[in-house]
Structure formats: structure tokens, C-alpha cells
Chains A and B, each alone.
Chain A
């Protein structure tokens, strides 16, 4: 039997001329993520209605709660535009919420079909009274109710009382593709998630220094990339062998600059790959002042070889806020697995905090790393992660 979800798109409602295009993308993305489950999606101003077989409800709710562009959704009862069926549906909803332990409610009516004989206020009052009679454990609270019984009278009548939050943001594909520098740490997956919510398809690049870092560390990054697909729908992970670049830096650069040189080389490699795959900007998990290489001066230097922007959505967050987000999106546990993504022998004990941009860029240029970076790009291993692989 089919059930119905009422879907509330969010930010796309603020768009003017392009709203149809954003809606089209959201519907396309929902269908792709739900595939091979077949669904019917009806589009109305400000609302989508999704019909799906009841046995697929769990998967459907997972998709709806992870798909960027959705503010929220609710399992909804569909009925004829007559008082009696609307009352039955409202009572059933209230009884379900009461059974969950909810204690207070209010009724909200939206009547876009003005031909319905009862006015919004009148209908809400009548239904409220009936609910109070039927469910003595409930009371009315119009200011801070535990739940709202919502009635929408449109082409048909819709009754719902849940409001499951969606991820908000913009539908995947409505912004340009981005390339995420994905380490095995806590921050970069969160940065990827945040940009996925801005509607960008995300691809990931990871730099490993095998054998100085372990295969387990690479597997951890693969797991993180897969976890990200819950939000961005699909991703590719480019694994670059960066040992030779790192060794060259260790040999030729002053020790205190080695981390900055290494990060500059990663940015350069990511910039080249971004151009090749059509990504319009890089994404990193950098947060201002978190570590020595994340000062404004260091960021200016490490991005200096690029002619595309670097998005750093976590730049103003502290660690606790980032950890909170990582926990919410399900990457924290993976990120804290004990596999280092950088060997301690490559980390200088006293890294340079505030490099001079000109001197730093000139030092970086003098290292002549481009051939090694090209070599690393040629040796990259590419992995695809699909939405269907999760959950």
C-alpha cells in the first residue's frame, strides 16, 4: 500500500525565476537516491508530495532526512475534502502522538481552497474540541505545543502531525562541483558535508604517504568518503601517492617550513585535479588558528599557487562545534579510529606560524615539485562511492 510524505522544500522557495529549476533538481535527486524504489512525486507551490510503498518507508525516511534542499517532511494522511474524513484523520494523528507520550497540541489549518465550507479558524476549533474529547490525556497549548495537527486543504485534504527535520540547504547539483581535501581527521568530512548542503556535488582527494602511513589509514578515508555520500549523493575519491613529494620536501626545505610546503603541494595537486574534473573550487576543513598551518598567513601561502577559490566552511568554528557536527553526520567515530594520516617523522617539532607570503612562495617555487606532483596525479587511484552502498 502506498503511503504519502509531505515534503517542505526550504531555501529554494526563496528563489524567484530559477525556482522551477531548483525544484526539478530536488525531485531528480530524490528519485535518484530512492532508486530502485519507484515513487511518485507531485509538485505544488511550496510543497511536494511523495507516494511510496509502505514497506519502503524506512529507506524513504533515510533519504528524505539526508537530501539537501529539504527543510522537513511528514508522513501524511490524505483524505477527501469533507469534514468527517478530516476529523477521522486528525483523531488518528492525535492518538498516535498521545501514545508516544506527547501531552499538548494545537490544530493549524491552511485552507488554500477557499470553497471549503468551514473557515480555517472554525475548523481548527472544532477539530481541537473533538481531539480533547477523544484523548483526555491531551491539552491545548497554542504557544509551545508538543505537536501540531496540521490540516492543509488544497486539491485534497492533508493531515499530519510529525515534522521530521531535513538537512536544509540547496538541492545537490544546483551549485558547482567542488573538490574536497579529505584527510582522515574530524574536520574535512564536516567541511564536505557543509558544502554538500550548499548544493555542490563533491569529489574528494586524499594524499597518502605509504608506507609512512598505513593501508588502514587509507581504508578509513574510504569509509569517510562513503559516509559523505549519505549527504552528497555520490562521490569519487582520488587517492594520491604523495610519499615522493613529502620526501623531496623533507630533503630540501628548512624543517620548520615543511608542513607549509607540504600543504602548498597538496593544494597545487588538488588545483590541477580540480581543473581536470571540472571542480570550481577546493574545500578544506581548516579552522583559523587551530594548528600552526591554519593561520591566515599560512592559508595565504598554501593557496598561493591556485587560481580558484578555497572554501573553508569551518574557518570560524571551534573544535567542539566541529565535533558536534561530525557526530551528527556520522563521521566522528570513523575519524577517531587510531590510524594516522601523517607520519610523525614528517611533522616538524616547531613549525613556522606566520610565513612571509613572498618568501614562502619563492621557497615553494624553488623546490620544483611540479614533476613529482604530476607523477603523483598519474599514479592516483580513483574510487567511486554510490548512494546505494550505504544504509
Chain B
């Protein structure tokens, strides 16, 4: 630990908690301690709070997710399944496809899924596991700008395709994906003669409260969210679904049978309230974020040798979430730089580790964007949030310029 004041620039990993909301929700859930499945009053009280949290989160996700969200196709088309994490929310649709394939003639061999190469491991590792179990997997690379083209997704589809997964906002580069067009392409393919419906799953963990995204506006079948990215507690996620799914893990049948286990009332309450708060004044906050993004990107480009990844990214570009910036400092491992920054009280993330193995393997997401391994190896992710200020960016830039000059090999 350094004795310096903490400058937290790792909001994409987890955000600082909304302490007041969390305390209120904890008290509320302690008062309503009954099991929401119990038939007595205490159970009903808990059930009622849980269902309020569910409908307010669904309503918020579908109808009030900031500017740019399209009017709903139809009212309350989806429902919310509370899960234990964003990862678990991502797993459910993929495992549902597996279960359904196992019960059909031809089994997994006739099941094809498509995922983008830049997915979070919650999707990517799960898809890779399905492939090991016999499911056919197509991985679609993004362009050098980190964005996946709807055309490429369309080309990857075949009559056996059961699921397509493309995330809303990439967690390493901030690249915003065109889920609207991709969703359309998937829906058209699924509606073609002789075709079966295709699940279009969107990992929207980095979109919630950050950029306009409404699952209802993008022909989305399911979307995953996580509470701790918006000030909520860790250990709570949500899956928004508009299509029937089948669980591979079963138990007491809670959450519509998709996520068995006694419900986390505290987590559900806190999630729905924090999500609502995160979306307040999204217009203003986005404008503020764009200002910070501009200072950050322009400032990094002034540091000799430093690069923004992808290099085509310009401040204010709607193709990127302003809250996440990826930068490379060639001649210095990202992990080393993150450690040195940490000693100065600055918290950032890195995807690359300082080892021979990692150097060869490089980094999956940046690699898929054809970013040279030396740059990927030296990259760090800077991500900020609601309470970040201009002077935070200034402090980051000045410390970074000094450290990079001293530590560059």
C-alpha cells in the first residue's frame, strides 16, 4: 500500500459501492428475512420485495436506459432472472442451448453457436467448453477498430446456428458493438425458410448505466448485467430474457427454474436501486465522460511513445464507451506499469501478465484486433466513473508521463 491518496481508475473491474443504498437494502432485507418461497407472511413479505426489485429492474432496463434507447417494441416483453453474477447470467443462455441440443436428434453435432472473439471469458470460455463437448463453434473476429461487423456475423450463420453472442461494450477497449444491426441480422436468419429461431445473447455488463443500451430495442433474446459495476454488491447479476430457456443446473426451481437457490433479496434490491441511480442524468454524465475521455486520450498521445488502442480511436467517437480507454506504453509491460502506478496510489488494470508464456500467447482481445504483440503486452486499461474529475485525469497523466520516462526499458 502506498501512503498516497487513492486515485481509482479501475471502474470497469468494479465500481466503488453506493454505500447508502447498500445499507438501506441490507436493513430492508434483514427486516424481511423470510424465504421468498415460504407461504407464510414473512415469506410473502420477502417475495413481494423481490418481485418489486425484479419489475423495477426490468422496467428500468427496457424503458429508461438513457438517451438513444429506442422506444420499446412492445411493453414488458422480457423478464429478469436474478443470478449470482454477470458470468452466471452469461452462462445460462449458452447452457440452455446445450441442454436443448442434447434432447434433440443429432444431439450437439447439429448445434452451432457463434461468438465474437472479443467476448468476456464468461462467454468465451463457456463457448469453448461447449465446443469441447461437441457443439460447433464459430468465432468471429472484430475489425482493427475492435468492432464486430454485422455482415461477418451474418456470414457465420448456418441453418444449425442456435445462438449468437456479441457483447454490448468491450471491457478492455470500450468498443461499442452494433448490437442493433447484429440483432437484426440474427433475427432475419432465424426467420428464414426452414430456419429455427436463434438466441441472440448480449453481455451488457459494461453498458449498464454507462452507454445507451436497451435489450428491448435490439432484437435481443437475452442480456447479462452485473450489480457491482454500478455501485451494487458483488455476487449479484441479472439475466434479462425474452425467450424461453432451459436450465442445465437445477434445484428448487427459483427464478423461473433458470437459477435455483434461495434468492438473494438484499442483492436484488440493491441491484435494482443502484441500476436506477446509475442511469440518472445519463445525458449529462455522458457529456462529462466525453470531456474526461478527451483529456485522457489527448494527454496520453502527448506522452512520447505512448499509444491509444486501437490507434484509430478519437475522442468523442460514439463507437467507444467514453468510460474505458486502453493505452499501450511500449517497452514496459502492462503489469509492471500497473504495479508502478499502484505505488503512486493509482489503480488501473491490465490484461497482460509479465511472463514468457503470456508474451507468446499475447492477449486474446487485442490479438483478435491484430494489434502487434508488443503493444498488447504493454497495454493498460484506464476506466473511470461518475465521481471521476478532470483533475484525476490530470494527475494520472502527469504521474504516467513521469513513470513511463523513468521505467521504459
Contacts and interface: CB of A to CB of B under 8 A. Distances in A.
B409 A344 contact: no
B355 A211 contact: no
Nearest to A212: B336
B316 interface: no
B356 interface: yes
A345 B68 CA distance: 45
A214 B331 CA distance: 17
A111 to B, nearest CB: 63
Interface in A194-234: 211-214
B219 to A, nearest CB: 42
A345 B355 contact: no
A146 interface: no
B406 to A, nearest CB: 9
B331 A345 contact: yes
A199 B185 CA distance: 75
Contacts of B343: 211
A230 B185 CA distance: 66
A214 B343 CA distance: 11
Nearest to B340: A211
Nearest to A214: B339
A32 interface: no
A340 B343 CA distance: 19
Contacts of B409: 212, 247, 250, 345-346
Contacts of A212: 333, 336, 354, 407, 409
A344 B357 CA distance: 9
Interface in B331-366: 331-333, 335-336, 339-340, 343, 354-356, 358-359
Interface in B1-47: none
B354 A344 contact: yes
Contacts of B407: 211-212
B356 A344 contact: yes
Interface in B361-409: 407, 409
A347 B356 contact: yes
A378 B272 CA distance: 57
Contacts of A344: 333, 354-356, 358-359
A340 B409 CA distance: 17
24 contacts: A211-B336, A211-B339, A211-B340, A211-B407, A212-B336, A212-B354, A212-B407, A212-B409, A214-B335, A214-B339, A247-B409, A250-B409, A340-B354, A340-B355, A343-B333, A343-B354, A344-B333, A344-B354, A344-B355, A344-B358, A345-B331, A345-B332, A345-B409, A347-B356
Interface of A: 211-214, 247, 250, 338, 340, 343-347
